[in-house]
Structures are given as C-alpha cells and as structure tokens.
Amino acid sequence: MDYFVLQATNGAIIGVIYALIAVGVTIIFSILKIVNFAHGDLYMLGGYTAYYAITFLGAPPLGALALSMAALFLFGALVERLLLTPLYSERTERKDEYGLLVTFGLAFFLRNTALIVFGPFPLRPRSFVPGVAHLGSLTVTWDRIFAGALGVALIIGLLYFMHRTLWGQALDAVSQSRESAAIVGINPRLFNSLAFAVGAALAAAAGALIAPVYSLAPDMGVLPNIQAYVVVILGGMGSVVGSIVAGILLGEAEGLFTAFFPDPTRALAYTNAFGVLVLMAVLLVRPTGLFGRRHVRME
C-alpha cells in the first residue's frame, strides 16, 4: 500500500473518533449557546464508568457503553440544573462568559477529583472486538474500527433524532429561539437540560469506545478537549456536519504531518502544535470556522 494512502487512511479513522468527541460539544453549543469546557472530563468520566461497569458489574462491553451513556446523561442533567440555570435568567449578564467560566470550573473540579477517586494508574477495559484487521499493508485494531463505526452510527442516530423526531425538532426549535419555542408550548428549561444531558452522553460514549484504544487515566480528557474544540471551531460552532468534516480533516492533518514533516526528530513533537496552527490559520481567514454561522449570543 502506498505510504501516503496508508497514513491517510489511518488519519481518517482517527478523525472519525475526533468527530465523535466534537459532536457532543456542538450539540451543547447549538442549544445552550455555551462552550462546554468540561467536555473532555465528561469523556473521561464516561470511560471510567464503562470500565467499572465491566469490572464490578460484569457487564459486557456494549452494555457498559449503554450504562455509561445513561449515567452521564443523568449527570449532565444534574449539572445543568445545578450550575447552568443562571443562563436563562434575565439577571445574568454576559451569558457566554458565564458558560465558559462555569464549565471551566467544572472541568477543573472533575479532573482533580478524578485523580483522587480513580487513582493515578492507567486502566484498560476489555476490548470490544479483540484482534487486528489488515487493510492492505495498514494494520488497524478492530477496536479502532469499531469505535469509528459505532461513532458514525451514533452521529447518524443523533441527526435522525434531531431532524425526524418530535423531541429532536423541539430541541432544534429551542436552538433557534427560546422565546418563540416557549410561545409554541415547548418548555425551554426541559430542553436545555436535555441538550446538556445528550451532549454528556455523547462524550461518555466516546470515552467508553476509546478506552480500550488509548487506556484510561484521570487526565485523559485534556488533549481530546483541545482537539474537540479545534474540530468544533474548524467546523463551525453549531454545525454537526461541520464537526464531522473538520474531525476527519484534523485527523488527516495530524497524521500526514507526522508522516511527512521533513525533520523526523521533531515531527511527532510538533504534531499537536500543527493541528492548532491549522485552526489558527482557518480562524484568521474565517473567524466563525469553516461551516459556522456568525457567533450568536444568547438572547
């Protein structure tokens, strides 16, 4: 297999995983209009929940995934009720700043608590599908393919939910205008909780899917957090399609950079910097990302 094609394929698979992580951020942003800085830590919690479900409850990996999503769904709703309700009040000024700061604080809190609760040693749950597959001369573990495939399935499911079901359309309505939605009889408070909960569940799914690939550690969410934002902003906040495209783009960019950067000593070290550089370059040209609409502040 041509070296380029090999690296590009690998990059695409990684990119789908990035997209999966980013989609949760996008959902939360499009409904609540805030950037969830704690997304990486919800991802981390999802991974650990799945691990403990497998280890202590003896759940099969898929069951653990579902359990993890359910648990983080509830946790997300709880967080939303506890911390995010000022977003809906007239008295709160600069709502997006508030959202940023409070999710930042949540991330800080979760990460440091996780270190104490889960301990510092990396853990690895059982594989979903053991073994490797051979795509030409590229060897890919089945776990990665599974993560990518299930990720795509979840995203498609999400899109279906958003556009074809009543609840999903209600969510969409709230994202366009809270007040109009309220007039039509949709309870915005309920749907805001729902949005955050769905976002958290998606993060948990990503964490549970990727845990066998990269192992679990309390700070495993730090880098994916940054990468998720890069993807979301590249793709434009609020655009699910944009997140998918941007995710794959980022995966490709990083993979090809490592593969072809002339100085082999530095290639890997600067790969993450390169991803960020791509982001910076795109933001310079299109400040709202590739697919984003103009950043709308919460009314």
Partner 1 sequence: MGLAGVVVLVTLGVMLGPLQALLGAAEPIKLGWVGPLSPPGGYADGQLMKDAAMLATDEINAKGGVLGRRLEVSYQDTRGLPEEGTAAAERLISQEHVVAIMGEFHSSVFLAEMEVAHKNGIPIVAVDVWANKITAMGYPEVFRVAPCQALIATQWGNWIAAAGFKNVAVLYEKTDGGQSARDVLLPILRAHGIRYDVVGADLNQTDFTAQIERFKTHTPPYDLFVTIFSEAGLYPLVQQSYSAGFAPTKHTGLTNSGGPATTPTFWKNVGEAGKYLLTEVPGLPRAKWNAITTAFVANFKKRFNSPPTPQAIESYDAEYILADAIKRAGTTDPKALIAALEKTNIVLGRGRYTFATDHTPDWHYHQFVDAPVHLIQYDTVGQPPDGAPVVWPRNLATVSYVYNRPPR
Partner 2 sequence: MRGLHAYVLAAAGVCALVYGHLLNPYWMHVAIIAMFYGILAASWSLLAGYAGLFSLGHMAFASLGGYTSALLVQWYRLPIPAGMAAGVVLCTLVGAGIGWICLRMSGPYLAIFTLGFAEIVRITFSTEDEVTGGMAGLHTAPLFRAATDLPYYYTAFGLLVFSLATLAVIARSRWGLFLRALREDEQAAAASGVAVARFRTLAFAVASGFAGLAGGFYAHYVGILTPSVGSLDLMALLVVMAVIGGMERIPTAVGGAFGVEFLQEALRAYGQWRLVLFGLILLGTMRFARNGLLTPAWLQFVRLGEIRGPAPARRGVGQEGSGP
Name the residues that contact partner 2, by CB under 8 A. 34-35, 82-83, 86, 90-94, 96-98, 100-102, 104-106, 108-110, 112-113, 115-116, 222, 226, 229-230, 233, 237, 266, 269-270, 272-273, 276-277, 279-280, 283-284, 287-288, 295, 297
Site string for partner 1, 136-155 (x = CB under 8 A): --xxxx--------------
Could you say which of partner 2, partner 1, none residue 68 binds, taking C-beta under 5 to 8 angstroms by partner kind? none
**Token duo for residue 130:** 């053991």
Of 112 and 165, nearer to partner 2 (C-beta) is: 112
Nearer to partner 2, 47 or 99 (CB): 99
Radius of gyration, CA atoms only, the chain: 19
Q: Would you say 98 or 142 has its CB closer to partner 2?
A: 98
Task: Select 149 or 226, whichever has its Cβ closest to partner 2.
Answer: 226
Of 58 and 120, CB closest to partner 1: 120
Residue 94 in contact with partner 1, rule: CB under 8 A: no
Measured from the CB atom, the residue of 104 and 161 that comes closer to partner 2 is: 104
172 binds, options partner 2, partner 1, none, Cβ within 5 to 8 A by partner type? none
Q: How far apart are CA 274 and CA 291, in angstroms?
A: 21
Nearest to 223 by CA among 260, 265, 271: 271
Could you say which of 73, 258, 278, 291 contacts partner 1 (CB under 8 A)?
A: 258
Residue 108, binding choice from partner 1, partner 2, none, Cβ under 5 to 8 Å by partner class? partner 2
Q: Answer with the entry of partner 1, partner 2, none that 101 interacts with (C-beta below 5 to 8 A by kind).
A: partner 2
For the record, the structure tokens of 84 come out as: 């995010």
Nearer to partner 1, 120 or 185 (CB): 120
Is position 10 an interface residue for partner 1 (rule: CB under 8 A)? yes
| Cβ at position 142, least distance to partner 2 in Å | 32
Site for partner 1 in 208-237 (CB under 8 A): 213-215, 217, 219-220, 222-223
Instruction: Report which of 216, 237, 188, 168 is spatially closest to residue 25, judged by C-alpha positions.
Output: 237
Q: Please tell me the distance from the alpha carbon of residue 176 to that of residue 289, in angstroms, as a whole number.
A: 19
Residue placing its CB nearer to partner 2 in the complex, 43 or 128? 43
* Contact status, residue 35 vs residue 195, Cβ threshold 8 Å: no
C-alpha separations of 202 from 21, 51, 108, 139 in Å: 7, 16, 20, 28
Q: Check binding of 7 to partner 1 (CB under 8 A).
A: yes
The reply on whether position 117 binds partner 1 by CB under 8 A is no
- Residues lying near partner 1 in the complex (CB under 8 A) are found at 3, 6-7, 10-11, 14, 112, 115, 119-124, 132, 138-141, 213-215, 217, 219-220, 222-223, 254-256, 258-259, 264-269, 271-272
